[in-house]
Amino acid sequence: MSNVAQKWYVGMDVSEKKIDFFFLPPDDEGEGIHKIMPNKPDTLCEFCDTLPDPDSVVIAMETGTHSPWMSEYFERRGIKCYVGNARKLAAVWSSVQKSDRKDAEMLARLARADLKLFCPIKHANREFRIDAVTLKMRHRLVLCRTTLTNCIRGNLRSFGIDTSGLTPENFSTEVAKLIPSEMFLAMEGVLVQIKMLTQQIKSYDRQINKLCKKYEQTKRLQQIPGVGPVIALAFVLTIIDPERFGSAGRVASYTGLVPKRDQSGDVDKQLGITKAGNKLLRQLLLQGANYIISRAPDCELRQFAERLAERGGKIARRKAKVALARKLCETMYSMWKNETDYNPFYKAAKKCV
């Protein structure tokens, strides 16, 4: 405890052009020191060189674009760095007197008071982050293609032309046959872009297949219908190590697929999911759940979703899909951690034993 008390806590509020440092002294009597430095690669080196002892300070910053490489740099220099979860730092971003200086001060004070209030996270190592870039770039291209495809579909629909039977893969070639000749020139440029995007997405798919060979765990996860190389790789690169989590429920919570809670006295509201964690993985799990509930062969996962959908209501099927995505996440985690193969009727087989 005495060692912690002797440390200076340094809050860092990082923007694209500058970094606000707030130096909080070990005792409660000091007011702290505020300093602004430009956000350049040499800034952190200059900052670390001025420290008399790396063990004398603790860095506190929040998650952002620069937090992965900055926290990595501090660790290489032997300086303790905590990265707070920005989504949970309400004390920082909900302030009525918000400024970069006050944000840096609040980060330092939260870290000094109680690290649990700071909600620290741990960034994945550089290798995992580099491999994850392939998934992110592919996802961005898919979103671009979807936007352009929907633009074509919407315009044709206004002329009574149905394109519902076309898939993203054959859209650019097949839709050309449906476009009236007087409209083709206007849509030709967009069709060319859709075709190019499809080719680039296929190129990324080949890269992802190679990465799946690097991460052998993905082969086991792909035994589940609806889980292909993209979903399996995203799951592995996000979870990283199944031993980090005590249960499958914690993994579902980590991916933001569990309900929020607002309970006070006798009131316990029904709320939507938290949407915490990796957004891309959550979207991919929902895509996998959509495949299972609509096209996969009969299995316990599909039966689970169908039972929920049968409860009726306007959004029963949507709720069932979210619940199935959570169940899919838990199933993938259990298969990975326990090194078991996929059994579409696991519970039935377990009862027979």
Q: Tell me: the pLDDT tens digits for 159-185?
A: 999 999 999 889 988 999 999 999 999
Tell whether 101 and 19 lie within a shared domain. yes
Query: Residue 290 has what DSSP assignment?
Result: H
- Distance CA(93)–CA(107), nearest Å, equals 11
Instruction: Find the largest Cα–Cα distance for the chain.
Output: 80
Residue span of the structural domain in which 222 resides:
215-262+269-342
3-state secondary structure 78-113: CCEEEEECHHHCHHHHCCCCCCHHHHHHHHHHHHHH
Tell whether 146 and 63 lie within a shared domain. no
Tell whether 156 and 180 lie within a shared domain. yes
Point out the domain boundary residue: 70, 87, 121: 121
Please check the confidence at residue 331 and state whether its pLDDT lies above 70.
yes
Rg (CA), the chain: 25
Contacts of residue 5, defined as CB under 8 A and 6 or more positions apart, other chains included, come to 26, 27
Please check the confidence at residue 131 and state whether its pLDDT lies above 60.
yes
Contacts of residue 114, defined as CB under 8 A and 6 or more positions apart, other chains included, come to none
Residue from 239, 251, 327 nearest 289 by CA? 327
Q: By mean pLDDT, which of 173-177, 308-312, 329-333 is the weakest?
A: 308-312
Tell whether 132 and 63 lie within a shared domain. no
Higher pLDDT, 211 or 277: 211
- Distance CA(18)–CA(267), nearest Å, equals 45
Higher pLDDT, 27 or 159: 159
Any domain includes 347: no
pLDDT at position 2, please?
38
Calculate helix-pair angle for 279-294, 126-157, nearest 10 degrees. 60
pLDDT at position 29, please?
62
Q: Where are the alpha helices (DSSP H) in the chain?
A: 2-5, 41-49, 67-76, 90-93, 100-113, 115-118, 126-157, 171-174, 181-214, 217-221, 229-239, 248-254, 279-294, 300-309, 316-338, 346-352
Question: How confident is the prediction for the chain on average, in pLDDT?
Answer: 91
Point out the domain boundary residue: 121, 138, 161: 121
Tell whether 235 and 283 lie within a shared domain. yes
Any domain includes 331: yes
Any domain includes 351: no
| Secondary structure of residue 10 in the 3-state scheme | strand
Please check the confidence at residue 25 and state whether its pLDDT lies above 90.
no
Any domain includes 349: no
Tell whether 65 and 135 lie within a shared domain. no
pLDDT at position 353, please?
56
Region 260-264 average pLDDT: 84
Region 88-98 average pLDDT: 76
Tell whether 234 and 289 lie within a shared domain. yes
Q: pTM of whole model > 0.95?
A: no
Any domain includes 280: yes
Tell whether 138 and 21 lie within a shared domain. no
- Distance CA(113)–CA(105), nearest Å, equals 12
Q: By mean pLDDT, which of 106-115, 121-130, 261-270 is the weakest?
A: 261-270
**Residue 58 half-sphere exposure toward CB, CA atoms < 13 A:** 25
Point out the domain boundary residue: 72, 97, 121: 121
Tell whether 335 and 249 lie within a shared domain. yes
pLDDT digits (tens, 9 = 90+) for 292-306: 999 999 999 999 999
Please check the confidence at residue 216 and state whether its pLDDT lies above 90.
yes
Tell whether 109 and 134 lie within a shared domain. no
- Domain of 50, CATH number, reads 3.30.420.40
Which of the four pLDDT bands, split at 50, 70 and 90, describes residue 284? very high
Tell whether 117 and 50 lie within a shared domain. yes
Q: Domain count of the chain?
A: 3
Any domain includes 352: no
Tell whether 315 and 229 lie within a shared domain. yes
pLDDT at position 1, please?
33
Any domain includes 348: no
Any domain includes 29: yes
